Amino acid sequence: MRVWEVEDGKSIPKDLVREQDFILRVRRMQRIGNQTLVINFVLNAIEPLAKNHTAMEAVQKKLQEFANLSHGIYSDMSNGDVFISWENNTDAHTMAHRLIEGILPDQKVDPKQFLLTFSMPQDYTILRERSNLYIEVVRTSGSVGLLDNEHAVATAQGQLTAKNVDQIEHLLGEIDVRPYGRTQSIYKNTAGAWQVVGEEYFISFEDLRRERFPKLQFASSEHFFLALCGILDQRLLVMLTNNYDSIGGRPINLNLAVNSIVSSVFAQFVRRVPREHRGLIGFELHRGDLFQDFSLTLSAIEVLKREGFRVALDGITPDMLNHIDLSLFPVDAIKINVSKDRAFQLTTPDIRKGLSRISNDKIIFFRCDSDKSLNAGLELGVKTFQGWLIDDLASKKKTSP
């Protein structure tokens, strides 16, 4: 029996995105160890479905709706067959049989002929062997044309979902993200002059989305969006670990998801950065992580400070200053979003009071793209800014006689 390992790029065909997703999920089931029921719906064994693509899609849609309603995880294979998995759900097997009896095109077909059941983690080896069969089917049938990365990109559309995040995570393993690397300067206002005090390094997801995933939308869930940003942040860390000389000894800021603190990618980056250089590197932790897991964010701050890095809270909006005293957090900087549509909030007395609790040396006004935001910041004594308006002002100052 050949076991395909997802991490080994030479062992598994790179175009089998759906199969890779499912194998990765099976490995997670085995690693976590929770009792999980997995049912394989072998739809290609039903002749009317195997010969009718529209009918197959209709059944898949019903199975996906069933998975959502029963809190299961839906996975379809390249040939149309489906896996659904449930944690700690003893009724799912009975429900699956009743469902399939209701959607069979031929009521005389015995559901037992095309419903295969696996109990994880006990059946890990058997389920992995079953997963391998789907890879072999595609390899031997020569039908890889429908499974290339362009097809996978096309499926990453609509509202952002866990499935899309998984798809993009795998596709990013094949995409060179270096062309999407960006920097933006952070400035301090000193006697009317703009002095660069650091550079923020990031991967422009908007550029990446426009070119690679143009039909993907982000309005549905900040949780999934943060997960996607975390994947990109790790890719950037890998790039900088392998090319540390390009940033060594320079003040830079990097975005970091708090759960990346325990990743091997972060550990490798830390080992690559000499202790004496770490004070120049600031990690920006997003407010979304703070609200989703307060204690984990505090632990991440503690780890980063212990390793000698600077830490900033990122993505703070002015209205948040009414509800939380950010001066209590042991961080080096607090980045406040003062984009044009938020500038009016900076005149609100309660928000000004919240700002007054924070040391001016810690505040960074970012997305500063209007005179109103800039003037409000200068009036409040803010010294550090980031945004295209400041880029323009600093550039004009340099070119003026």
At 321-337, the pLDDT tens digits run: 988 889 999 999 999 99
Q: Count Cα neighbours of 27 within 13 Å in the Cβ-side half-sphere.
A: 11
Residue 57: its pLDDT value, please?
84
Residues whose CB falls within 8 Å of the CB of residue 110, separated by 6 or more in sequence, listed in order: none
Q: Give the mean pLDDT of 300-308.
A: 95
Tokens in use for 319?
């209205």
Minimum mean pLDDT range among 117-121, 154-158, 329-333, 363-367 = 154-158
8 Å CB contact between 84 and 66: yes
Cis peptide before 179, with omega less than 30 degrees from 0?
no
Q: Give the mean pLDDT of 150-168.
A: 57
Domains of the chain, each with CATH number or no CATH: 17-147 (3.30.70), 178-399 (3.20.20.450)
Indicate the burial class of 121 (C-beta count within 10 angstroms; 0-12, 13-18, 19 or more).
middle
- Could you tell me whether strands 115-120 and 252-255 are parallel, antiparallel, or unpaired per DSSP bridges? unpaired
Using pLDDT thresholds of 50, 70 and 90, give the confidence band for residue 145.
Answer: very low
Single pTM value for the model: 0.61
Using pLDDT thresholds of 50, 70 and 90, give the confidence band for residue 247.
Answer: confident
**Residue with more model confidence, 198 or 216:** 198
Q: Could you read off the pLDDT of 59-81 as tens digits, one per residue?
A: 888 888 888 888 888 888 888 88
Indicate the burial class of 300 (C-beta count within 10 angstroms; 0-12, 13-18, 19 or more).
buried
Rounded to whole angstroms, the Cα distance separating 336 from 298 reads: 19
Using pLDDT thresholds of 50, 70 and 90, give the confidence band for residue 122.
Answer: confident
Say if residue 147's pLDDT is above 50: no
Element (H, E) at 94: helix 92-103
Q: Could you read off the pLDDT of 7-28 as tens digits, one per residue?
A: 333 344 444 567 777 887 888 8
Residue 251: its pLDDT value, please?
95
Q: CA 29, 34, 37, 40: dihedral to nearest 10 degrees?
A: 0
Say if residue 153's pLDDT is above 80: no
The strand pairing partners of 158, in sequence order, are 216
- Could you tell me whether strands 193-203 and 252-255 are parallel, antiparallel, or unpaired per DSSP bridges? parallel
Which residue's entry shows tokens 């307060």? 294
Tokens in use for 256?
């970091």
Say if residue 154's pLDDT is above 70: no
Residue 334: its pLDDT value, please?
97
Q: CA 42, 47, 50, 55: dihedral to nearest 10 degrees?
A: -100
Residue 221: its pLDDT value, please?
58
- b/e string for 143-175 if b means 16 or more Cβ within 10 A? eeeebebeebbeebeeebeebbbbbbbbbbeeb
Tokens in use for 29?
């089931």
Q: Could you read off the pLDDT of 327-370 as tens digits, one per residue?
A: 999 999 999 999 998 999 998 999 999 999 999 999 999 999 99
